Amino acid sequence: MYKSLIRATAAASAAALLATSAWASDLVVTFDDLNPAPKKAFEDAVEAFKKANPDINVTVNITDREAHKSSIRNALLNDAPDVITWYPGNRMGPFVDAGLFMDISDMWASDPNLSSKFNAIKATMTRDGKQWGVPYSYYQWGVYYRKDIFDKLGLAEPKTWDEMLGACDKLTEAGVTPFTIGTKYLWTAAGVFDYLNLRTNGYDVHNDLTAGKIKYTDPRIRKTFDNWKVMLERCSPVKNHATMSWQDAIAPFANGDAAMYVMGNFSVAGYKDAGLTEDQIDFFQFPEITPGLARAEEAPADAFFIASKAKNVENAKKFMAFIAQPDIQGEWNKAIGQLPPNSDAAINKDDKFIVEGMATLSTASGLAQFYDRDAPAAMAKAGMEGFQKFMLDPSTLDEVLANLDKVQSEVY
């Protein structure tokens, strides 16, 4: 009743209005990072797009990243922009399944950049055999460490599991806690788990686990936890990690009380803010555990999607193709200190972390998004709580794994 009344009365007035808006060529883009650097990089890219397409009138909405996580639900229904940022992997699943994102497989097949320069990341943009978005940035994970402490103790970057455990023993002896971590918000623990799992079992097991095809009590996953247990014993994390955020955990690292940190590249700014200089910190790839296993890495990406309700689909596709270009991706990621997914894009050679990151990711056999992006949210939440519980008390392992199996059977 209510709706039909609105429609009846609105229809009359709408007819006149449509005439005015029909010939303007518009594009509405929603972006989700208000931090100065990412915001500017995005705006610069939009400016470049405007210059290339002077006939398109671009409107930009920039929202807070956390707020975006819930407001996107409405945005896609009521206020649909043409292009919107979101995460690939399982995080895009619900919107893809509800038909709120547009299938752009045709672009991935025909666009010169998308069809050949994004091979490493194509899998994470794919669901149901179709591609749904265009990634504009990603970054590496790995071990950040205090080079000055390592030098003082005569330690080299460990390449293998045994070397790392040996380094940990030496650090502990010298009164330094090997690892810092803050697990209050859980996801940091997932980073460690993912790496142990990728190095113990490889990329396929990671994907099968997060896709719900392997149980947590599977012997392979148990092996991962066995390694983690060894790591907790010999490479002990800082105390009180359960009350610290990832930023809080920088403090012991900066003070020299802890020497290593399994983290993403965005954390480099945090180390520098805490007073560490480029000489004091460095990066190494998480060492090999199972010898000979193909090396896969964590590389969470950010991407643009077209809303199914987009009003200007042609312009939206133009924008997507535009941001897939190597020069745009290069400029953008230089500005935010991350890596361009387009393999032809130039990177910032002066940033040693970016150079190492590029080397790490471009030679990786597979790229994982991250446990909490690859697994459905409800599973990820339970999983990460389990990881934290295990970290605080490894003897609860059986209980944790049994519970995760149960959650898994309910979520998928």
Query: Nearest approach, Cβ of 190 to another protein (angstroms)?
Result: 12
Sites for another protein among residues 188-227 (CB under 8 A): none
Sites for another protein among residues 392-411 (CB under 8 A): 392, 403, 406, 410
From residue 94, how far is each of 87, 320, 354, 377 by CA, in Å?
11, 21, 32, 10
Vertex 252: Cα angle to 250 and 255 (nearest 5): 105
Report phi then psi at 347, rounded to 5: -120, 170
Sites for another protein among residues 19-38 (CB under 8 A): 20-21, 28, 34
Each residue 153-182 as x (binds another protein by CB under 8 A) or -, in order, gives: x--------------------xxx------
Closer Cβ to another protein, 269 or 359, answer by number: 269
Asked if 250 touches another protein (CB under 8 A), the answer is yes
Size of the site for another protein (CB under 8 A): 77
Closer Cβ to another protein, 228 or 332, answer by number: 228
Contact yes or no for 87/320 (Cβ under 8 A): no
Each residue 289-318 as x (binds another protein by CB under 8 A) or -, in order, gives: -------------------xx---------
Query: Nearest approach, Cβ of 218 to another protein (angstroms)?
Result: 21
Sites for another protein among residues 329-358 (CB under 8 A): none
Query: Nearest approach, Cβ of 328 to another protein (angstroms)?
Result: 25
Closer Cβ to another protein, 348 or 396, answer by number: 396
Closer Cβ to another protein, 348 or 403, answer by number: 403
Any idea which residue has 């649909």 for tokens? Answer: 80
Residue 265 is encoded by which pair of tokens?
A: 């590249």
Edge-to-edge order in the sheet of strand 177-180: 177-180, 258-264, 141-146, 281-284
Asked if 380 touches another protein (CB under 8 A), the answer is yes
Any idea which residue has 């090997």 for tokens? Answer: 178
Asked if 53 touches another protein (CB under 8 A), the answer is no
Closer Cβ to another protein, 22 or 350, answer by number: 22
Query: Nearest approach, Cβ of 375 to another protein (angstroms)?
Result: 10
Asked if 17 touches another protein (CB under 8 A), the answer is yes
Among 25, 35, 59, 160, binds another protein (CB under 8 A): 59
Closer Cβ to another protein, 293 or 377, answer by number: 377
Query: Nearest approach, Cβ of 384 to another protein (angstroms)?
Result: 9
d(CA 141, CA 284): 9
Each residue 84-113 as x (binds another protein by CB under 8 A) or -, in order, gives: -------x-xxx-xxxx-------------
**11-19, 110-118, 223-231, 341-349 -> range binding another protein (CB under 8 A):** 11-19
Query: Nearest approach, Cβ of 408 to another protein (angstroms)?
Result: 12
Asked if 74 touches another protein (CB under 8 A), the answer is yes
Among 15, 51, 54, 78, binds another protein (CB under 8 A): 78
Query: Nearest approach, Cβ of 68 to another protein (angstroms)?
Result: 8
Among 43, 47, 79, 162, binds another protein (CB under 8 A): 79
Among 37, 52, 67, 269, binds another protein (CB under 8 A): 67
Closer Cβ to another protein, 324 or 384, answer by number: 384
Instruction: Tell me, letter by letter, the H, E, C secondary structure of the chain.
Output: CHHHHHHHHHHHHHHHHHHHHCCCCEEEEEECCCCHHHHHHHHHHHHHHHHHCCCCEEEEEECCHHHHHHHHHHHHHCCCCCEEEECCHHHHHHHHHCCCECCCHHHHHHCHHHHHCCHHHHHHHEECCEECEEEEEECCEEEEEEHHHHHHCCCCCCCEHHHHHHHHHHHHHCCCEEEECCCCCCHHHHHHHHHHHHHHHCHHHHHHHHCCCCCCCCHHHHHHHHHHHHHHHHCCECCCHHHCCCCCCHHHHHHCCEEEEEEEHHHHHHHHHCCCCCCCEEEECCCECCCCCCCEEECCEEEEEEECCCCCHHHHHHHHHHHCCHHHHHHHHHHHCCECCCCCCCCCCCCHHHHHHHHHHHCCCEEECCHHHHCCHHHHHHHHHHHHHHHHCHHHHHHHHHHHHHHHHHHC
